[in-house]
Structure 1
Amino acid sequence: MSVAEKLQRKEMRQTTSRQVRLKLVYIDVWSLVKLSFLVWLCLGIVLIVASVLIWVVLFSTGIFGELDLTLRDMLGQPEFAIANSFGIGQVVLFSFIIAVLNTIVGTALGAVGGFLYNLSVRFTGGLLVGFQNS
């Protein structure tokens, strides 16, 4: 019997689908802290890269020059330049600080969320999750 015939015979058999239902009644808080830290760390890196890219696009398209002209007319200061006030170094530093703060706060909120879920399981019975093998 060839391999093709074996595969054809295998396809003719009816497969039974099995369904499993699981209840999530406990979340390990330390695992949730590690996961939320990694998620917020990745989001912080995305924030830094996105802010640098936005600054580069605004600088290369000349929008800062147009803003300089508009603000010079409004403020009456001939030496005003927005690129001096918001340079790439300041943008990177500010976005880095915001990313670090978001990572710290997001990790803490992940831990608090885990504690709150573990407390709420006593009242709700947990989260029912179903899996099906088809």
Structure 2
Amino acid sequence: MSTVADKLAKKSTRKTGGKQVRLRLVYVDFWSAVKLSFLGAVALAVVTMVSFFLIFLVLQATNVMSQMNEFVLRFTDEQVNLTSLVGLPQVMAFAAVVSILNLIVFTVLGAVLAGIYNLAVKVTGGLLVGFMSN
């Protein structure tokens, strides 16, 4: 009587007759790279906005902001009020500015990297990718 382990051992010793395909990536479409990097940057912008919001809420809930405000008031002889400078609207505006800058930088970076890859392919011949079917 054969067990499951015996059946698996017989399967692993049997040669697979899979077909192997090798492809060479010799061109990256510029506009496709720009669109993909833009979508990635939009996802990063959403993550940035949500993380700034959550961090601000955690700092408010744990009274870190009030302790920092007391420290700044003592340090500046009550001339600078931190709670009036760092509120939720100011934090979210800063997060929006950071997100927009990241959006621009990542989109341009994706376009530049696609252009550099297309130039490097002329020298290196491209990236060899292998696929195998079982």
TM-score scaled by length of structure 1: 0.85
Structure 2 residue 62 is the aligned partner of structure 1 residue 61: yes
Q: Distance in 1 between matches of 2:64 and 2:103?
A: 31
Q: Distance in 2 between matches of 1:114 and 1:27?
A: 6
1:46-78: CA deviations, max 9, x gaps? Answer: 00000010000001110011111111221111x
Counterpart position of 2:4: none
Counterpart position of 1:114: 114
Unaligned runs of 5+ in 1: 1-10
* Counterpart code for 2:72: L
1:80-122: CA deviations, max 9, x gaps? Answer: 4322211110111111111111111111111111111000100
Q: Distance in 1 between matches of 2:117 and 2:125?
A: 11
Counterpart position of 2:84: 84
Question: In the comparison of the two structures, how many residue pairs are matched?
Answer: 122
Identity of aligned residues (%): 42
Unaligned runs of 5+ in 2: 1-10
- Measured after TM superposition, the shift of residue 18 of structure 1 is 1.8
CA RMSD of aligned residues (A): 1.6
Q: Distance in 2 between matches of 1:24 and 1:68?
A: 56
* Counterpart code for 1:68: N
Q: Distance in 2 between matches of 1:45 and 1:107?
A: 15
TM-score scaled by length of structure 2: 0.85
Counterpart position of 2:48: 47
Q: Distance in 2 between matches of 1:14 and 1:110?
A: 43
